[in-house]
Amino acid sequence: MESLSEATSEPADNIENLDQDTLKNSSDLSNQDLIPVSKEIEDQIDTNTSTDTDATESGQSQLIRNAQITLMARSTLKGSWTKSALATLVYFLILLGTGYISRQVSRPLLSLLLGTELGVKLEFPYSSLNSFLSGFLHSFVSAPLILGYNGIYILTAYRKKRYQLDLIFVGFSFQYYFLVLSAYWITTAFTVVGFVFLIIPGIIISFSLAMVNFIIVDDPDILPFEALKKSYQMMKGFKWKFCCLGLRFIGWSILGILTIGIGFLWISPYYSMSAAIFYENISGASRSQIPQSLKPETVTS
């Protein structure tokens, strides 16, 4: 009986030792092999936010509320309101000046094309053609300037906490100019067509394509239609959220009007910074695509 007891207890001891060794090996495996994998997945989750309407609950939890976005925008601009207001002033003056010039040039040019007298008042549809021609001429300056201000200048300020006035002119560089000009024309065409049929489709289209400039800034090699497609996909499920973000600035816009436009020198960078943070929050773009000059600075402790 004692030998039988020893025989039965020995396998039990072996099993117990085996179980302990197995648990130890499993623990070592999880510590050595599984942690890097989970870390890799965690990094992937951190750098990619959900852009689907059917986003999972974990993806949705990464979204920042609009109230937090505006708070972050104010925090980013804190101490640099004067610099951003100066950049906005330069931006507005150039837009207004070139807009005035384009209107002065468009009418005689249209009269020349149509063979009409310059002093004759333009009636519909010629007045609409004049507005179209004026906007078309203005786009050669406004499109790259909008990219430079709303895209490059604001994104650089947010990511690198650096406010450089000359950045608003980067859109005129060969790297961006023809790309943003083509994207601007296509975006405008889609939006106008949407407004022609009904106002609501035009608004939806404008929200769907709202991230085009940010996408171009982060990926200068992208094709115009690809930028529009990427913005459309990115904004799936977020158009209403972006609309609500804009609605938060209605009161500020009224204040800007009451100050004869002076208030917009501060309101415009505030809104543009909020839109940039919104883009950062929903974009799933790989950070490796961002030009080195626009990548966020690494903070070391």
The residue that leads in pLDDT, 59 or 170, is 170
CB-CB neighbours of 130 under 10 Å: 18
The type of residue at 121 is K
Q: What pLDDT is attached to residue 236?
A: 93
Give residue 198's pLDDT band: very low, low, confident or very high (50, 70, 90): confident
The residue that leads in pLDDT, 289 or 110, is 110
Q: What pLDDT is attached to residue 1?
A: 46
CB-CB neighbours of 276 under 10 Å: 28
Query: Which residues, 6 or more positions from 232, have their beta carbon under 8 angstroms from its beta carbon?
Result: 208, 209
Mean pLDDT, the chain, rounded, equals 78
Give residue 8's pLDDT band: very low, low, confident or very high (50, 70, 90): very low
Whether the predicted pLDDT of 46 surpasses 70: no
Q: What is d(CA 200, CA 180) in angstroms, rounded to the nearest whole number?
A: 25
3-state secondary structure of 92: helix
Give residue 110's pLDDT band: very low, low, confident or very high (50, 70, 90): confident
3-state secondary structure of 244: helix
Q: What pLDDT is attached to residue 116?
A: 64
Give residue 217's pLDDT band: very low, low, confident or very high (50, 70, 90): very high
